[in-house]
């Protein structure tokens, strides 16, 4: 039986699916295996997720396998819809839970995750059972509005709660002044009732929705307290409670909008139209209508409308909006450019290589927005705490109302204190403190070219004490150059031609260095056949009638190598060269030496990381020990682990995680995908324009600059410090107010003032992260 395999890019078969962990991938493999495919599974090659199909070529052709995969992918993509949407109208963290609970009851909704802080809904549904319209109707029935991502809700939607709150304050003031002026009690109560209605409008709506979802939340507690105050005749205090509660919410939302808009501003960086050269004429078209291959004219000072490559012209381009680089980068023919970046003084003609929805900026915005729907460990803890704490408070309040009167305490006083305790125990600040910090930190990171894909990765990055670095392309520039050729029985050009013929089939930086050097000498070669790449060792192929092998010493392990070859290898490696041996038809014909220089400033980066508390830094490489030691010594890395196969790197990262509890791995995202996945936090460099890095890592440094790493670590440490501070403020306010209200030392007015004050304080504290700059020591916020 002729067994064959076909590997297809998963992103092409299932466009729109976030990663290989999505349930649609399992659906795809199951569907294919029900056809004529023997086995379907997902593998990673060069850091990309690929669909690997095993089939019998005597039963089904390659073309038919491709058609099956395409048809299955299209079928699943049409049926299982993924959407990222914005929800307007949420005014408390519990609103997100209510919406999730309501959507989960719709038959066909497979996933609904809502972030109150970011006002985002991440949705997956089965289109054969439900629809976008059905989801929208359910959300609108709850009193919220569903908007497309990055759509603006309008002035009224953004400020209505503040308007209602101020109106409640005016009515409260009117009732108080009426009493001072000697107006009848009915007039004052009329003002207070109106203040109740206006100030409690949104609170009542949210409380009803929560109760309908069988949950007790903060709004419920506030309403019960206000109703209790009215029942005791404390109309002014009840109206004051609802006024301050609504005002606190409105101010909290205004502050949170600042963090949301920091993310939305990224989406507005790309221009809305582009000047395109078509059929000899220049026409202006919306960026959504740009096609691959279109030639876009970008004038001085304009933003680039799409990802592409320069065809004509030279200019310095400010890439800070995408990569965070502080200095403009010179661009010329064949250089890559990104949507949202700013052209300098020259005119550029750019060929579009990605559609508007596929650009680096668009994907970056999408990933940052999705990051807000992923709860951090601290947020998960506070959610669990609230689910226990709020019912416990309600039970405690019932006892506080019922028990003291049995002991002779006046019922009115007991009831009033119970209502004050309700206010005191409402954990508003606890609910908002962590998501506000995460939202602000992720937004700030994105502004400076660092993509953090969720609160969990933010917190984990902030507690790291160990980081492993890949050598090639991370510690070094990743641009090795050919330095030495030692040929035996052939000329240097003949040896280099053979090596380049094979290495032209590899994307490894060392292989490309050989090909570049051969082309620089004007050498030409024919295509090899029967190419076999030996992972981490080298490559074999047939070239004409000759069997050629090129690789490191591991490729020829256990074989006899002449003294001449061994001497050359030792000489070159002692000089810090990476060596590759060439063998033709079983006879070694030479040694090639290459050198990759350390990145400028790496030593300073490592020093800065140590000052931030990352005491353990390790370099991992497949290169030989002597070369690795030389690079490590040059940058100040003492822990160097060399001669590692790809699986050895995974094991090394696993050992660091076991030793230190948590460990990060920094690589280029392409060749280091498995090791990045094994680390607590996988950090990829050079994410701009690199789909693999954007998908493979938990944290992406958009520029090819290791100097962004201390900023990312420092920001994460600052975020963790803010989260701890917010927890302390929130829990401290509750711990202070509960006994104070229980024993009558504080009334409803003071309780709600401190309650709302603590909520605003934690939000403002979180917003400090939006101005964070690299600090001289961990936890400091500039």
Residue 372, pLDDT score: 63
Q: What is the pLDDT of residues 18-29, one digit of tens each?
A: 667 778 888 888
Whether this model's pTM surpasses 0.85: no
Would strands 329-331 and 450-452 be described as parallel, antiparallel, or unpaired?
unpaired
Single out the residue of 606, 599, 602, 704 nearest to residue 325, CA to CA.
704
Residues of the chain with pLDDT under 70: 1-3, 16, 18-19, 35, 44-48, 91-93, 117, 148-154, 213-217, 259, 263, 326, 369, 371-373, 669-671, 687-696, 774-782
- Tell me how far CA of residue 439 lies from CA of 255, 526, 777, in angstroms: 12, 55, 22
| Secondary structure element (H or E) that encloses residue 584, with its range | strand 578-584
Residue 722: burial class (beta carbons within 10 Å; 0-12, 13-18, 19+): buried
- Torsion from C-alpha of 89, 95, 98, 103, nearest 10 degrees: 40
Burial 478-503 (b: 16+ CB within 10 A, else e): bebebbbbbbeeeeeeebbbbbbbbb
- Helix, coil or strand: residue 78: helix
- Helix, coil or strand: residue 594: strand
**How far is Cα 355 from Cα 246, in angstroms, rounded to an integer?**
44
The strand pairing partners of 310, in sequence order, are: 350
Residue 780, pLDDT score: 43
- Tell me how far CA of residue 397 lies from CA of 44, 423, 674, 696, 746, in angstroms: 57, 11, 53, 50, 16
In 628-680, beta strands by DSSP E? 639-641, 664-667
DSSP 333: T
Written as one string, the DSSP assignment of 177-188 is: HHHHTT--HHHH
* Tokens read off for 455: 């609160």
Catalytic residues: 470
Find all residues with CB under 8 Å of 107, minimum gap 6, and list them.
129, 130
Would strands 616-620 and 466-470 be described as parallel, antiparallel, or unpaired?
parallel
Structural contact between residues 311 and 295, judged by C-beta atoms closer than 8 angstroms: yes
**How far is Cα 304 from Cα 362, in angstroms, rounded to an integer?**
13
* Tokens read off for 742: 């229980």
**How far is Cα 458 from Cα 441, in angstroms, rounded to an integer?**
8
- Torsion from C-alpha of 171, 173, 174, 175, nearest 10 degrees: 90
């Amino acid at each position: 039986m002729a067994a064959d395999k076909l590997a297809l890019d998963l992103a092409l078969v299932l466009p729109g699916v976030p990663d290989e962990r999505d349930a649609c991938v399992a659906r795809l493999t199951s569907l294919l295996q029900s056809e004529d495919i023997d086995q379907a599974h997902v593998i990673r090659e060069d850091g990309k997720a690929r669909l690997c199909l095993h089939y019998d070529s005597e039963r089904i052709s390659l073309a038919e396998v491709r058609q099956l995969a395409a048809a299955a992918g299209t079928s699943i993509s049409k049926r299982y819809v993924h959407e990222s949407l914005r929800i307007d109208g949420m005014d408390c963290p519990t609103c997100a839970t209510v919406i999730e609970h309501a959507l989960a009851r719709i038959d066909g909704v497979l996933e609904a995750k809502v972030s109150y802080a970011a006002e985002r809904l991440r949705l997956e549904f089965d289109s054969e059972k439900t629809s976008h319209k059905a989801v929208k109707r359910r959300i609108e029935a709850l009193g919220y509005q569903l908007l497309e991502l990055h759509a603006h809700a309008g002035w009224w939607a953004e400020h209505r709660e503040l308007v209602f709150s101020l109106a409640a304050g005016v009515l409260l003031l009117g009732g108080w002044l009426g009493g001072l002026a000697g107006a009848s009690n009915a007039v004052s109560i009329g003002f207070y009732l109106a203040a109740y209605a206006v100030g409690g409008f949104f609170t009542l709506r949210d409380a009803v929705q929560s109760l309908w979802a069988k949950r007790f939340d903060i709004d419920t507690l506030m309403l019960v307290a206000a109703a209790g105050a009215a029942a005791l005749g404390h109309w002014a205090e009840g109206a004051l409670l609802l006024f301050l509660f609504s005002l606190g919410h409105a101010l909290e939302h205004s502050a949170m909008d600042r963090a949301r808009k920091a993310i939305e501003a990224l989406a507005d960086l790309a221009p809305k139209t582009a000047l395109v050269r078509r059929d000899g004429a220049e026409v202006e078209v919306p960026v959504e209508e740009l096609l691959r291959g279109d030639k876009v004219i970008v004038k001085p000072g304009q933003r680039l409308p799409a990802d592409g490559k320069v065809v004509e012209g030279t200019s310095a381009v400010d890439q800070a909006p995408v990569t965070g680089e502080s200095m403009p980068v010179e661009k010329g023919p064949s250089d890559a450019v990104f949507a949202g970046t700013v052209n300098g003084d020259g005119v550029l003609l750019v060929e579009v290589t990605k559609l508007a929805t596929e650009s680096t900026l668009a994907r970056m915005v999408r990933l940052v927005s999705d990051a807000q729907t992923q709860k951090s460990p601290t947020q998960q803890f506070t959610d669990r705490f609230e689910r226990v704490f709020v019912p416990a408070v309600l039970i405690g309040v019932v006892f506080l109302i019922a028990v003291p009167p049995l002991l002779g305490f006046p019922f009115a006083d007991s009831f009033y204190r119970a209502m004050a305790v309700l206010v005191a125990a409402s954990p508003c600040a606890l609910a908002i403190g962590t998501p506000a910090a995460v939202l602000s930190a992720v937004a700030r990171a994105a502004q400076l070219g660092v993509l953090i894909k969720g609160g969990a990765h933010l917190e984990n990055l902030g507690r790291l004490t160990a980081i492993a670095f890949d050598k090639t392309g991370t510690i070094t520039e990743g641009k090795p150059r050919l330095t030495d050729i030692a040929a035996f029985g052939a000329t240097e050009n003949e040896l280099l031609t053979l090596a380049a013929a094979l290495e032209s089939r590899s994307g490894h930086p060392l292989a490309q260095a050989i090909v570049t050097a051969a082309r620089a000498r004007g050498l030409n070669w024919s295509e090899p056949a029967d190419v076999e790449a030996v992972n981490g060792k080298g490559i074999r192929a047939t070239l004409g009638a000759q069997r050629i092998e090129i690789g490191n010493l591991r490729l020829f392990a256990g074989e006899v190598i002449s003294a001449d070859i061994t001497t050359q290898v030792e000489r070159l490696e002692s000089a810090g060269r990476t060596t590759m041996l060439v063998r033709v038809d079983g006879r070694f014909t030479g040694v090639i030496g290459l050198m990759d220089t350390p990145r400028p400033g790496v030593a300073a980066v490592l020093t800065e990381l140590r000052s931030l508390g990352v005491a353990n830094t390790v370099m991992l490489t497949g290169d030989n020990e002597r070369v690795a030691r030389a690079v490590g010594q040059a940058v100040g890395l003492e822990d160097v682990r060399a001669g590692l196969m790809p699986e050895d790197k995974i094991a090394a990262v696993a050992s660091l995680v076991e030793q230190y509890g948590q460990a990060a791995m920094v690589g280029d995202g392409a060749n280091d995908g498995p090791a990045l996945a094994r680390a607590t936090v996988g950090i990829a460099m050079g994410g701009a324009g690199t789909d693999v890095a954007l998908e493979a890592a938990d944290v992406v440094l958009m520029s090819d600059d290791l100097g962004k790493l201390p900023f990312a670590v420092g920001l994460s440490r600052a975020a963790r410090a803010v989260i701890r501070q917010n927890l302390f403020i929130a829990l401290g306010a509750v711990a202070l107010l509960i006994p104070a209200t229980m024993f009558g030392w504080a009334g409803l007015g003071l309780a709600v003032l401190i309650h709302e004050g603590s909520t605003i304080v934690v939000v403002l504290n979180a917003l400090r992260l939006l101005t964070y700059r690299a600090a001289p020591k961990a936890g400091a916020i500039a």
